Amino acid sequence: MIRMLIFLVTIVMIAGLVTLVANVDGVVYAQIGDYDFSARSVILIFALMFLAGLCIFGTLILSWLARIPKRLKRTRLETQRSKGLTALARGLEAVAAGDAEDAQRHAKNASKNLDRPGLTRLLTAQAAQLAGDHAIAQENYAGMLEAPETEFLGLKGLYLQARDQKDKTAAKEYAERAFKLRPGAEWAFNSVYHLSLERGAWGEALDALQLAQKNGVPKDEPNQRREAALLSAAAYAAHASEDTAAALKEAEAAFKKAPSFTPAAILLAKLLSQKGNDGKAAKVLEEAWAAAPHPAIVRTLEKIFADAPSGRRAGRLLRLAEKAPDKDESLLVRAEQHIALEDWDAAIQDLETLASRNPTASTFSAMAAAMTGKYDEKSGAPWLAKAAAAPLDSTIGRDGEFHFTTDGWRRLIEEFATSGRLAPPPLENVSFAMTRGEVKLLTAAPEVKSEEQPIENEPAEEVVDVEPETPIEKPEAEKPSVAESKSDNVDAEIISEPPAADYVVSPKKS
């Protein structure tokens, strides 16, 4: 619509100009030497306009002719570029398909037809690497470092080559350069991070994680747990080198990020206790227990209050158990403290629940102690047998100490970051859970024996014949009830004979 309007306006302007020129009156006189010329003004104006148009048209023709060589060259270059891009695309497709020979052929065509050394070097390097020519591949990857637009890709190629050749030093150098160029690149971050973990450089791994989080790597829960585990590893390293201030700082930071990471809570509580702040140490352990109960927390709290009165120590542990009252670990802690306070019934009640869930050797041992305390050693013997048959608790750090190797810390950090636990689940799960009936049977009170025991080989009581017409009946007051017979555990012998006569048998005398 706009173009049509412009065209109409142009036509109107030209028509107006022609009309204006046509209405010009006058004659133009000119004298050149001995010759005189005269012409009407309108004719002269139109002639000049025609000549100007002719000059413009001629100039355009000449310019077009002059540009023909350039146009031919450009056409040739475009055709060559098109062939090069086609070869590049097919070469990358061959690399993806794993066809080394086809990839190398297309790489040569791309290098010949394309004046883009960065792209052609990438294809040439990948084709050479696919064909097993690592020297050519490394040469082309190194050449890519010269151009800023291909430096990152070249570093990645050199890193992959160094990694395949087990050259960790070179791999670390290339990965760190790439990570500095693009901190948000996932492969660069993962490379620097894992290489730092393998060397036990917890600080470098933590710096890489924090830098990556500032450049696009999400600050999600796994990375928060990863950061807490790295801080804990650094805290343990500082504690081993007797740098208490740094250890306390790192442990506090780790505990704030992940209270469920038990090693951080244990170290922080120990350091606080060493400074004389047992109350704050206990609060740390209680918060850690609420997040994730662990035997190391119990052992550490016991050590902190080892010199306290038994009642106070038991109260602290019972308070700890209340932070996660429904957990199996809390039931065991409560039972152990009830045993220490000789509250056998409360201990057995907790252990009965635990025995029907997921009992361990510690569960059965505690039940044996409770039954022995309430009754006797014979009552605790079946539970000791079950404790001996049950597998030992394989929880790491269950004694309250964590002594990991560098590889152990690496595995712990990755496991906690991925799944939020300290160790993978066991390959085999053998359950020793008991039914409620079995538990009640083994926790029942033992049978009480009578103090009077029958004398062996005692002659039988003499049987007295009684006339059938006058059967002898025992008075009601002298007849023993069934309950009395059972409670006294007295054996009575009833002799059945033909109904010719009734017999009364006296109990055996002891």
Q: What are the pLDDT digits (tens) for 226-268?
A: 999 999 999 999 999 999 999 999 999 999 999 999 999 999 9
Task: For 305-326, write each residue's pLDDT tens digit.
Answer: 999 998 899 999 999 999 999 9
For residue 129, give the nearest of 119, 120, 141 by alpha carbon. Answer: 141
Q: What is the DSSP letter of 167?
A: -
Confidence tier at 449 by pLDDT (50, 70, 90): low
pLDDT value at 82 more than 80: yes
- Mean pLDDT score, 436-465: 64
Statement: residue 475 has pLDDT above 60: no
In the numeric block, which tokens belong to residue 314? 């038991």
Distance CA 210, CA 344 (A): 53
- CA distance linking residue 283 with residue 271, whole number of Å: 13
Length in residues, the chain: 510
Question: Taking residues 420-429, what's their average pLDDT?
Answer: 85
412: number of Cβ within 10 Å? 21
What does the longest C-alpha to C-alpha distance in the chain come to? 196
Sign of the CA dihedral 217, 220, 224, 230?
negative
Q: Is residue 316 classed as helix, strand or coil in its secondary structure?
A: helix
The residues with which 28 forms a beta bridge, in sequence order, are 39
Rounded to an integer, the average pLDDT of 151-159 is 91
Helices (H), ranges, 322-467:
328-340, 344-355, 361-374, 377-389, 406-419, 436-443
Q: The pTM is what?
A: 0.69
Q: What dotted CATH number matches 263-441?
A: 1.25.40.10
* Residue from 79, 85, 101, 103 nearest 93 by CA: 103
Measured between alpha carbons, how far is 499 from 186 in angstroms, rounded to an integer?
101
Helix residue ranges per DSSP H, 241-277: 244-257, 262-274
Using only C-alpha atoms, the chain has a radius of gyration, in whole angstroms, of 50
| Burial class of residue 341 in the structure, from the number of CB atoms within 10 Å of its CB (0-12 exposed, 13-18 middle, 19+ buried) | middle
Residue 450 has a pLDDT of 52
Answer for the pair 285, 265: CB distance below 8 angstroms, yes or no.
Answer: yes
**Beta carbons of 97 and 120 less than 8 angstroms apart:** no
- More reliable by pLDDT, 152 or 450: 152
